Structure 1
Amino acid sequence: MSFGQGGPQSQWDPWKPQSQQPSQQPWNSGPADNTPDWAALAEASEARAKRRRLLFVGGGALATVAIAGAVAVAVVSANGSGQASDGPSSQLPATADIPSASATAPSFAPTSAPPPLDPKDFVSSAEKDKAPLSPDLLFPGTQLTMSGTVYKKGPTADTRTCGSAAQKTLPKVLTDNGCTRMMRVTYTRGDVAVTVGVAVFDTEAQAAGAKRQADKKSIIRSLSGGGVKSFCTGAVCRSTTNSYGRYAYFTVAGHTDGKDVTEKATEVFKAGDDLAEFAFRQIRQRGEAQASAAAEG
């Protein structure tokens, strides 16, 4: 193809980067004067831009349709029948197939542990209190320590005639409440001596009655001998009375030199309290030992 009078020219394609644009001349003009036709160039550039926009819009629409089609195919392929699936929840068993907590929880028959044995029960009546009993069992050894103070053990005595081991109003109290036995032991520290007397009854009620009926003149008879001088036979002494279970226990404390006990004699008061506390502990321990043996048996 030729344009005007020029020789053979290669066709210009705007989409081929190596093609060249022919010179544009009027059909009846003379030879080319090498001046570019700016109007023709502008029209060609606008045509190229318009064509590119059409291609981009068309390509984007085709890509969107292709992606949507791929997603639809994937959903249909995953579900088989083409219906939507619940994923992992569709694989759970029905409600009736799931075991409930109430159906599988183990049940146990109600049980209750037996109440612990009360040690006091074993020293509250002669029927249960069957363990061996003597002054040396209640007050063992040759000395005892209470609150850091050491007391030496002196003479002991044991009698079935309770009134003979008491004085003033105490013999009647013991007899009226059915005392069956009186055990005594004396402890000393320096010139202070204390006699502890433990009266035995058949029941707790009898021992409590003796404690309740005793007054300031109900005094255990002091026990001397075996190196312990006589005390509390005419001088003023300090006495205590108490009970635990079927036992009533008494103390009388004073000076071995015959002096009266005054409120300032703190060592006498302390000795009497220490020995009363020791008597209580020994009686309670007697009950604990028998309760433990009964529980193990």
Structure 2
Amino acid sequence: MASLVVGSLLSPTAALARPLFPQPLLFQVAPARPEIGRALQQIENGEFEEAVKTLEAGLDAPDVTDDQLVELYRLLGLTSLYLGDEERAREAYEKLLQARPDYELPRNTPPKIRTLYARIKEDIKNRRVRPVTLQVDPIPDATGSEPVVATATIEEMALGARARLFYRRAGAQAYSSVDFTRDRAHKERYVATIPAYELPAAASAYEVEYYFEVADAAQRRLAGRGDAFNPLVFQIAPEAGAVARAGERPWYKSPWLWVAVGAVAVAGTAGAVVYATSEERGRVPITVRVNP
């Protein structure tokens, strides 16, 4: 079966004239990784299904670099086409091109593969690809001097993209940030932690402004919730025994009022960015009357 599929990709003469799997250009060679070498050998031996398993194991490794991911997705796309699985090949190439829109296949790549690759690039250029989807849990009010953990589910995470949580004490000039890291047990679940020393306990309550963002390798926003000018808010409670200041946070500032699902489609070379936030930043004047 494998030989029939390969025969449909390469003419008999071409198949004999060059190796089954074309060598990448020098600038496209990723740092050595055991799964890449093993998959290449399996492909040369015609063990395409085993090669797919090897490549998928490499993609799941926690310490894989972006360059290695590019090579793994390239090999997965080619191997999938050898098996006649165009849908899986397309998905692999889409993920590769979301982060490396200028990536080119080796010149000696079989014509059928180059045709599919060119079609996928055109789809990305016209933004006909799956969007990055971000689902986030709002951060509830917290206690000072304790870490705050935020969780998110990110689907269709682009290759080379980073998910970050930006935060600052209300009134501060600049935001700090922490990266989301992938939960090894759940591939699409990510966790970010604001360290305890960034949230000191105080005699009175104070607000922390924050927002979520997923950006690609070119720092283009793929998805998010809130932004630097319209952040979300949670409150740090006063120290135990301290008397809270009058004027608690109004009801409309509660982070539980917004729906924690945001999705933004940004594809390849497209520069358009669309995102939404539901946090109101207005202030309501309050007059206090004291009877003599």
Name the TM-score, length of structure 1 as normaliser: 0.21
Larger relative helix fraction: 1
Larger radius of gyration: 1
Name the TM-score, length of structure 2 as normaliser: 0.22
